[in-house]
Structure 1
Amino acid sequence: MEISVIIPIYNVENYLNQCVDSVLAQEFTDYEIILVDDGSTDNSPTICNEYAEKYTQIKVIHKANGGLSDARNFGIKEAQGDYLMFLDSDDFWNGVIILSEINEIIKKSNPDLIIHELSCFYDLKRIIPRKFKKEDIQKTSFKFKDDLKKLVNNDIYYATACNKIIKTSIIKRNNIEFSKGKLHEDVAWCADIIPYINSYALYSNPFYYYRKEREGSLTIQTKPKNIIDLIDILSEKETLLSKFDGGLSYLSYNYYIYLNNVNLLEEELKQKYLRKLINLNYLLDYYPRNILSLRGKIRLALYKLLGIKYVGLIEYNIRKFLKK
């Protein structure tokens, strides 16, 4: 079997049919879908079972709730395809020749990793493709370690599993798992695969529709755990990624996002995680400036000039005031 599509599911009865049907619509048929019901309490388990009864290429796993990472890990263990794809159950694909075109890429170069474009889906009237720029992908060697810095700096390699297709053997042979119990699991996972990728390919098609601003989605909530987990991940991966040209740029990209959010924490935790941020402030030197707007460049310069503690606090208070 060529491809295993892993779909973790938790209380998404309103989106699940669109998600699964978008894969079943593919003209290419050498794939399996693994539905991992992560202890859903709505009608999602019944929908999963109905699909499994109707389609032989669909497997269903019902398990106690353990979070997104745990669900994906269960799916990986069951996967029989040569390549893994991840599709979140509130997202969907647009098009019917997606897997056919991916199959052609695999037949041509057998890459360790395929990175594809995606689209941010707000509603039918607002769909924003996140496409590769032609000038950014010219003169690529397709040797991953050689091109990593370029891929990060041009916003091609970033922290999501859902725009990556990876050889199953790499994941299983090296026991690479998503971090159970942690948010920002994609930041850690995309860091962990870097040492094991040698060749890669790019698929210029923003077929993956990433649903934005869904009510109840973890991606629109900033809570203390979001902040703590991300800063811990950055600290944990620093040594690993310092070995690769572009690795620290990858960390910096994620570091920059949370510079003022540390002020959301209670005082004791705030001081602890502010110290961690300050210890990593050298990462600002590695931030890929060509993907920043003028406003972003000014923000970065202020953080470097005046320090994380003071600029972060000022920025946090301004945002707090504007929300009133």
Structure 2
Amino acid sequence: MKDKMVSVIIPMYNVADYIEQCLTSILTQSYSNIELILIDDGSTDDTLNIAEIITKDSNNTKIYSIVNQGPAYARNLGIEASKGEYIMFVDSDDYLSEEAIETLLKIITENNCLLALGRTLRTDGYKNWSVPSHHKYQVTSVDGVKNIAEHTELFYSIGPAAKLYHHSLLDNNFFDSSLNFAEDQLFVLKTYLRSNKIAVTHEAIYFYRVRGKENQSLTQLYQKNTIENLKNILAIINDAYNMITIEKNYTVEEKKIMYLGYINRLTEIELRVLFKANYRESGVKQATFFNIVLEKILLGSEPFILLFSESANFKKYIFFELQSFYFLIRRPALPVYYLLIENITKLQNDSSQSTFLNKIQRIQKHRIQEFYLKIFTCCSYFIKRLGRRIK
């Protein structure tokens, strides 16, 4: 096993406070046959200088310094530069357990797999805790071998970290640098689809840093720029559907199960947050957001019809909240809001339709009552003021 080289790819951007712990965790691994590839993505702090000092005695480290082009471009550069039989990605503000690479390499070779996945813990630098969705869906709770068609809970670990990839999974598989949000999901999806067996361990091997509000990572800022991020997510949904559909190693039913499993995860984790963020936007931005979603329904595109009609999490979270949070919809967005609710409702089964339509009628009735109440309140106020002046 020790003859197998592992290339560890780390894109870096303004992480001077964290890069030492990250690199030290790589350089002190129990497994030593490691190629370390660092790509400084145009840092404006001391990240590059610190990285050079820490790795100065390492004989198998490559450092690239490029103009800022985003993590996808940096990871792709790392893939092209790598020589290892296996590849691992680590974010520059995170770190590994001491035996992370040895553990993953052991289970990937023993089970004759192309992909291995370990447990991720969140950390703030003082304490560690489980990733809520990983714990909820038991992503890595039990050691063993899984495949994505039967274990769609693996989609809740759709980031590139905490995994060891055989280099063959990366052939003609790159990160989409045109996306600035969730750019890594299609990459991981393709590796899942190409792996008929995925080795899983419950051992914690990866520590994902949760930063404070004043120094948040890109991932923790994804709920901002809601309209642009919504467009990215919808593009990813369409690409994911096409990617799954063209796979030849799965049945039609398995493809549908995988697609619904993926969009259930996407709905619960990303799409739901974007909808919630939109409720805090201005009326014009709310209307633009709803119009983008409505357009997908009216076009009748299969990926989105399945999302709106058969995704359990879309109904459970977004559609329910879309109706429940009606009082947060600003007046300029109300017409398209009602149209969106109406068109999503039409895609539901008969029993759901009557329930949802009744709820919409109650919402509209309540809106009318609110309107007349405001008029009554204003009139009462002015009548009182007028009465005081007459006296």
Matched, 1:57 2:60: yes
- Measure how far apart 1:234 and its partner are: 1.1
Q: What is aligned with 2:206?
A: 208
Runs of at least 5 residues in structure 1 that lack an aligned partner in the other structure: 290-298, 318-324
| Number of the residue aligned with 2:93 | 90
The alignment covers a number of residue pairs equal to 297
Gaps of 5+ in 2: 246-251, 331-391
Instruction: Report % sequence identity.
Output: 23
- Superposed, 1:283-294 pairs within 5 Å as 283=307, 287=311
* Deviation (angstroms), 1:117: 0.9
1:249 aligns with 2:250: no
Could you say if the C-alpha distance between residues 268 and 314 of structure 1 is closer, same or farther in structure 2, counting changes exceeding 3 Å? closer
1:270 and 2:297 matched: no
2:167 is the counterpart of 1:168: yes
Distance in 2 (alpha carbons) for counterparts of 1:50 and 1:15: 14
> Equivalent residue for 1:101?
103
Equivalent residue number for residue 118 of structure 1: 120
Where 1:84 maps in the other structure, the secondary structure is strand
Q: Distance in 2 between matches of 1:232 and 1:66?
A: 20
Q: Which moved more, 1:96-105 or 1:199-208?
A: 96-105
Partners of 2:104 and 2:231 in 1: how far apart? 37
Specify the SS of the correspondent of 1:184.
coil
The two structures have a TM-score, normalised by structure 1, of: 0.79
Match in the other structure for 2:40: 37
| One-letter amino acid of the structure 1 residue matched with residue 258 of structure 2 | G
Structure 1 counterpart of 2:271: 258
For residues 273-323 of structure 1, give each alpha carbon's deviation from its aligned partner in whole angstroms, at most 9, with x where no partner exists: 22256462533666577xxxxxxxxx844755x6x8645655778xxxxxx
Q: Determine if the alignment matches structure 1 residue 179 to structure 2 residue 191.
A: no
Please state whether the residue corresponding to 1:81 is helix, strand or coil: coil
Q: Partners of 1:135 and 1:217 in 2: how far apart?
A: 24
Q: Residues 59-111 of structure 1: CA distance to partner in whole angstroms, max 9, x if unpaired?
A: 111111110101110111111111111100001113x2222222322331231
Q: Which amino acid aligns with 1:216?
A: Q
Question: Relative to total residues, which structure has the larger helix share, 1 or 2?
Answer: 2
TM-score normalised by structure 2 residue count: 0.67
Higher relative contact order (CA 8 A, sep 6+): 1
CA 1:266 to 1:44, structure 2 compared with 1: closer, same or farther past 3 Å? same
**Could you tell me which amino acid in structure 1 is paired with residue 190 of structure 2?**
D
* Deviations, residues 108-128 of structure 1 (Å, cap 9, x unaligned): 123111111100113413533
Alpha-carbon distance change, 13 to 219 in structure 1, aligned in 2, over 3 angstroms: same
